[in-house]
Amino acid sequence: MTQIIRFLALFLTVLSGLSTLLAQDSTQKNKNKFVAFPAMTRSIETSWAAGGAASYTFRPFKDDTLSRTSSIQMGAIYSLRKQLVASIKGTQYLRNESWILSEQISFSSFPDKFWGIGKNTKDSDEEDYQFKQAYLYLHFMKKVAPRLFAGILYEYQRVWDIRYQSGGLFDQQNVFGRTNYHVSGLGLSVTYDTRNHAFWPEKGLFAQVYFNHFSKPTASQYSFTNIVADLRKYVPAGKNAVFAAQIWFFGNIGSHVPLRSQAAFGGDNIMRGYYHGRFRDNQQLAVQGEYRKDVYKRFGLVAFGGFGNVAHTIGELNFNSLKYSVGGGIRYALNKSEKLNLRIDYGLGKGINRGLYFQLGEAF
């Protein structure tokens, strides 16, 4: 509880430093807006971390009233655990949303934790390891019918300077990707999107399925196919309130899937309350819901819950050793007209799994 109080105090301090910038916010949705702010955060993976973040929201064509707001988000943090993470990500909607471009570029130097592969790993199995990673993701989508998009995507990941306990779980389980490697893959996607808003949908459906194939022809050291299905539904739930639900499947086909491409259970978006990667394997399925409500001016509250699991094969995704997550959080609108929120969440998982999250934008 002391950590939560300290974090809330720090959160409000950061918000007060933003008051001059936020005073310029208006209800005019066609205005381009840039917000930059310092950040000091705490999460399960990083402990206390300091850095900065920025968000640029814009509309490429001022006379385009059909497209949602485009965005580019940047951030960098350095933690007490000597972890450095820097990233740029965004989504741009061209005229009448005829094309949608999404991108993510990141660099990580990250002391991390590993409990082994599988759904039944023990908390006491925890081992430390570290790595450096460069990541690139590009996704181009073309509208082929109203609200329906076909896309092509590219993903590149390079992992190096991997250090782990010799003779430990990495060696015992013969984990692929415990030495320097890179993967490179091309894929296709289908997306159906009726959401009415980019950052805080009040209604609509988002359904996306894509696969990405990694092999020698795409200059990848490991050969496997990644398949992802993401289904989200947003329903009005009273005055200034929304209920959001998500079904998330992340799967791999292949016998040589490297560590950083496996399904990693937990994190700030899926199954909050678990260390990201607390459970790892080839397949993951998670179901979660969230109630969101604006309560006072720029402030809002949320309550969330979910359940899920990992498995080596799709047939092993069942209710055995099922994991659950519950929690709640606070929202503060950095950009009130576009509902771009700072969020602070506290999630509780099974057993000792729990933690705080401080992020820009909603979990899903």
Per-residue pLDDT of the chain (364 residues; tens, 9 = 90+): 444 444 444 444 444 444 444 444 444 556 788 888 887 777 788 777 889 888 898 888 888 877 888 989 899 989 988 899 999 999 999 988 899 999 999 999 989 999 999 999 999 999 999 999 999 999 999 999 999 999 999 999 999 999 999 999 999 999 999 999 999 999 999 999 999 887 789 999 999 999 999 999 999 999 999 999 999 999 999 889 999 999 999 999 998 999 999 999 999 899 999 999 999 999 999 999 999 999 998 999 999 999 999 999 998 998 888 999 999 999 998 777 767 788 899 999 998 899 888 777 898 9
Return d(Cα 257, Cα 293) in angstroms, integer. 40
Residue 283, pLDDT score: 97
> Which pLDDT score is estimated for 187?
98
Distance (Å, whole) CA 302 – CA 288 = 13
Q: How many CB atoms lie within 10 A of CB 64?
A: 15
Strand, helix or coil for residue 207: strand
Distances in whole angstroms, Cα of residue 326 to Cα of each of 41, 146, 181, 291, 311: 21, 36, 36, 12, 22
Residue 273 DSSP label = T
Beta bridge partners of 155: 137, 185
**What pLDDT is attached to residue 277?**
93
Bridge partners of residue 53, in order along the sequence: 37, 75
pLDDT, residue 118, reads: 94
pLDDT score recorded for residue 137: 97
* Residue 30, pLDDT score: 60
Separation of CA 17 from chain center: 26
State whether residue 261 is helix, strand or coil. Answer: helix
The total of other beta-carbon atoms located within 10 Å of residue 299's CB is 13
Look at residue 108 in the predicted model and tell me its pLDDT: 94
CA distances from 212 to 143, 152, 153, 227 (A): 20, 9, 8, 7
CA distances from 3 to 7, 13, 43, 259, 356 (A): 6, 15, 11, 32, 9
Instruction: State the DSSP string of 190-201.
Output: EEEE--S-SSS-
pLDDT for the residue numbered 49: 85
